Amino acid sequence: MPSSEDQKAERDDRFRANKLCQIEIAEASLRDLKKELEDFDSAVSASGPDETADHTDAFPLVPDAEAKTDSQSSEWPLSSTEYQRYGRQMIMPEIGLRGQLQLKKAKVLIVGVGGLGCPAAAYLAGAGVGTLGLMDGDTVEVSNLHRQVAHATGRVGMSKVDSAYEYLYALNPEVNYIRHSFHLSPEHAISVFEQYDIVLDCTDHPTSRYLISDTSVLTSKPLVSASALKTEGQLIVLNDPPKPPGDLFGGPCYRCIFPKPPPAESVLSCGEGGILGPVVGVMGVLQALEAIKVLTRRSEAQGRMTDAEPATAQPVKASLLIFSAFSSPQFRTIKMRSRRADCAACSAKRVVTADSLSSGSLDYIAFCGRTTPVDVLDAQSRLSAKDFAQLPRDDQRVLVDVRDEVQYSICALPGSINVPWTGNADSWLSKAQDKGVMEDDQKEKYIVCRFGNDSQLAAKAMQQQHKDFPGITKDIRNGFQAWRKDVDPSWPDY
Amino acid sequence: MADPIPLTVEFTGGLEMLFSDQRKHKISIPGQDEDGSASNVAYLIHWLCDNLMKDPRKEMFVLDDSVRPGVLVLINDSDWELEGEANYELQPNDNVVFVSTLHGG
Ligand SMILES: [Zn+2]
């Protein structure tokens, strides 16, 4: 248990981070205002007293040829470089000058600068959103680089936010980037979200997904949520339109779709399950696309976001996009529900409030459950990788590798037998039987896996099968992770 | 006796691992359950557990007589909540997809 001083120190740190971030945002808008005033002043001095009329309507006066060459930016709503930079998207009716100005005005927050956040940030920066907030508390690792395209080999070890900032600034220096180099926490979530117009959930765990959705509802921000694992991805736009809690005409939130979190043991991370780079890339790019669509929506479509609902209005249903790279069809769109009348976050009966969130009384980690590290064997049944390496390799002992076939084919110890853990003692034992592991009851059996969790479960199953020979089955503590660290540094670190 | 109902069921988002690593299955289920009622999605879920699922980890698919939290059931490309959930009576050639939600990113 953390002591109350620790908790206080943590609260103080969060408070400080929160204030620093608010200052940064305030300073950024101050810079914007000063720049606007400067631009305005130089426009006034360039065009003379009679031509300072408001040119922000759809038909700005055509400036004379001289003014055009001298200071183009003064007469037009965008600078000359902005017309060049964004011209290819502006000439489409879906965007136009109107949409480009909406993008320039927009403040977008990206939570999670990983496999989803990198491509999403790149396309939003490229498209010219005015302000782009980046939030992540992690640092860049080599194993991120196959998919997290804003990072670089030379920036391994740097904070993900700073690394992405370097990439994005080089891509488009016109954007105002705000760096939040910490993980989202309930205490400061609201004050950060309030500074933005729309939020992208690019995180990788149910706890953050519920927290981000709850905060989006409380701060009335549309939320573009995506996820990916292995060869599949999912995308959904939530809380759009972002009506206040209790208004059934608002778009559903994450809790409307998933009122109960999945069992913690069913949640796989990219590190455990694997992820194909372009798969998560596709999902991140689609998030940027959906954000651009929301931000540049025409006023007719926004009509439903005003308070006067047409009599025939229906509650807004969400739509879930499922991408499955190796299936046919690859893309599929599913009609989902509208707001849930008893939703814990967005209904009139809600229990999630600004107070319950910022006071920390909503425990997202407990709500989603934790997986505790496996610890099912007594100390005598566990052997360190170092000790195992000292044992003679002879036919008195057998090494059973319980990783799946794909991992086994990447690297394996000579003479080991591959019996992938099936998640169930009986079915695994029968597979072990088929592979001849059980032929000699008296042979010592050593079980190994990637991290040392499944190997314990398999060793336990084996011990119960061999009750007459106690101590004959052992697990290798921390698996091949320990093997690489303590025995063979050349062992592939996949 | 009601005629058997031919269906396509699909498993995705990792659930296919529980069904012999195969995403799409063409199946045919009895037209009525044990009580003589028309077969609905609740009955289909039981039937899949008993007949199609070889993996012993039933708890990765069902909990308290329905799909576990985090699994969406889609009937002909609509969330089953729009179709009457477990009480939806299956029609010949319906397409039922079971999707586990993903969290990686
Ligand atoms: Zn809701």
Q: Where are the domains of chain B?
A: 5-100
> Is A493 annotated as ligand-binding?
no
The answer to whether residue A305 scores a pLDDT higher than 70 is no
Q: pLDDT tens digits for A371-389? A: 777 888 988 999 999 999 9
CB contact under 8 A, B60 and A268: no
A419 and A442 together in one domain? yes
ipTM: 0.92
CA atoms in the 13 A half-sphere facing the CB of A356 = 13
| Cα–Cα dist A182/A277, whole Å | 24
Residue A392: predicted pLDDT = 86
- Give the nearest chain B residue to A206 (CA atoms): B103
Question: Which of the four pLDDT bands, split at 50, 70 and 90, describes residue A63?
Answer: very low
Find all residues with CB under 8 Å of A356, minimum gap 6, and list them: A362
Report, as an integer, the average pLDDT of A274-293: 97
Name the residue among B56, B59, B103 with its Cβ closest to that of A267. B103
> Is A205 annotated as ligand-binding?
yes
Question: Which of the four pLDDT bands, split at 50, 70 and 90, describes residue A346?
Answer: very high
Name the residue among A268, A283, A332 with its Cβ closest to that of B77. A332
A393 and A320 together in one domain? no
Task: Report how far ligand 1's centroid is from the alpha carbon of A217 (Å).
Answer: 8
The answer to whether residue A365 scores a pLDDT higher than 80 is yes
| Cα–Cα dist A355/A361, whole Å | 8
Name the DSSP letter for residue A92. S
Q: pLDDT tens digits for B39-94? A: 999 999 999 999 999 888 888 999 988 999 999 999 999 999 999 999 999 999 99
Name the residue among A112, A263, A317 with its Cβ closest to that of B105. A112
Return the percent helix, strand and coil in chain B, to nearest 5: 25, 35, 45
Task: Report how far ligand 1's centroid is from the alpha carbon of A51 (Å).
Answer: 51
The answer to whether residue A359 scores a pLDDT higher than 70 is yes
Q: Are A388 and A480 in contact (CB under 8 A)?
A: no
- Give the nearest chain A residue to B85 (CA atoms): A337
Q: What angle do CA A466, A446, A378 make, to 5 degrees?
A: 65
Name the residue among B57, B78, B101 with its Cβ closest to that of A234. B101
| Cα–Cα dist A82/A321, whole Å | 33
Q: Are A226 and A287 in contact (CB under 8 A)?
A: yes
State yes or no: is A21 an active-site residue. no
Q: pLDDT tens digits for A428-441? A: 999 999 998 888 77
Domain-located, residue A425: yes
CATH (one of 3.40.50.10860, 3.30.200.20, 3.10.20.30, 3.40.50.720) for B5-100: 3.10.20.30
A236 and A357 together in one domain? yes
Task: Report how far ligand 1's centroid is from the alpha carbon of B47 (Å).
Answer: 32
Q: Are A352 and A256 in contact (CB under 8 A)?
A: no
Q: pLDDT tens digits for A238-283? A: 999 999 999 999 999 999 999 999 988 888 888 888 999 999 999 9
A389 and A344 together in one domain? no
| Cα–Cα dist A413/A404, whole Å | 14
Structure tokens belonging to residue A203: 């995180």
Task: Report how far ligand 1's centroid is from the alpha carbon of A361 (Å).
Answer: 19
Please state which of the ranges A22-36, A250-264, B1-15, B76-90 shows the lowest mean pLDDT: A22-36
Residue A55: predicted pLDDT = 42
Find all residues with CB under 8 Å of B9, minimum gap 6, and list them: B24, B25, B27, B44, B48, B52, B95, B96, B97, B98
Domain-located, residue A45: no
Q: A21, A202, A270, A368: which one is catalytic?
A: A270
Q: At CB < 8 Å, which residues of chain B contact A? A: 12-14, 23, 55-57, 59-60, 63, 68-72, 74, 77-79, 81-82, 99-105
The answer to whether residue A15 scores a pLDDT higher than 80 is no
Residue B1: predicted pLDDT = 65
Task: Report how far ligand 1's centroid is from the alpha carbon of A220 (Å).
Answer: 12
Report, as an integer, the average pLDDT of B21-48: 94
Q: pLDDT tens digits for A162-178? A: 999 999 999 999 999 99
- Give the nearest chain A residue to B101 (CA atoms): A234
> Is A457 annotated as ligand-binding?
no
Structure tokens belonging to residue A211: 């927290």
Q: Are A455 and A449 in contact (CB under 8 A)?
A: yes
What own/partner pairs with CB < 8 Å and gap ≥ 24 does A84-88 have?
Answer: A85/A128, A85/A172, A85/A174, A86/A127, A86/A128
Task: Report how far ligand 1's centroid is from the alpha carbon of A312 (Å).
Answer: 22
Closest to A108 in 3D by CA, of A297, A288, A346: A288
Question: Which of the four pLDDT bands, split at 50, 70 and 90, describes residue A11?
Answer: low
The H or E element containing residue A176 is: strand A176-180
Find all residues with CB under 8 Å of A340, minimum gap 6, and list them: A252, A255, A256, A259, A346, A347
Q: pLDDT tens digits for A439-484? A: 877 889 999 999 999 999 999 999 988 888 778 899 999 999 999 9
State yes or no: is A368 an active-site residue. no
A208 and A349 together in one domain? yes
A84 and A203 together in one domain? yes
Structure tokens belonging to residue A288: 């940027």
The domain in which residue A265 lies consists of 12-34+72-303+315-368
Name the residue among B79, B101, B103 with its Cβ closest to that of A204. B103
CB contacts, 8 Å: A427 with chain B? 55-56
**Rg, C-alpha atoms of chain B:** 13
Query: Any chain B CB within 8 A of the CB of A146?
Result: no
A363 and A387 together in one domain? no
Alpha-carbon dihedral A415, A420, A425, A430, rounded to 10 degrees: -70
CA atoms in the 13 A half-sphere facing the CB of B11 = 20
Closest to A442 in 3D by CA, of A420, A470, A415, A461: A470
| Cα–Cα dist A25/A5, whole Å | 30
3-state SS class at A265: helix
CB contact under 8 A, B12 and A203: no
A400 and A363 together in one domain? no
> Is A324 annotated as ligand-binding?
no
| Cα–Cα dist A402/A419, whole Å | 5
Q: Are A244 and A250 in contact (CB under 8 A)?
A: yes
Class of residue A451 by CB neighbours under 10 A (exposed 0-12, middle 13-18, buried 19+): middle
Strand partners, B32: B38
| Cα–Cα dist A236/A234, whole Å | 7
Question: How many structural domains are present in chain A?
Answer: 2
Query: Any chain B CB within 8 A of the CB of A368?
Result: no
> Is A269 annotated as ligand-binding?
no
Q: What is the pTM of this model?
A: 0.83
CATH of the domain at A479: 3.40.250.10
| Cα–Cα dist A348/A340, whole Å | 10
A410 and A331 together in one domain? no
Q: Are A120 and A199 in contact (CB under 8 A)?
A: no
Residue A4: predicted pLDDT = 64
A76 and A224 together in one domain? yes
A319 and A406 together in one domain? no
Residue A18: predicted pLDDT = 63
| Cα–Cα dist A195/B18, whole Å | 44
Question: Which of the four pLDDT bands, split at 50, 70 and 90, describes residue A312?
Answer: low
Report the residue of A208, A229, A331 to disrupt the B interface, i.e. the one with the largest count of B CBs within 10 Å. Answer: A229
A160 and A225 together in one domain? yes
Domain-located, residue A57: no
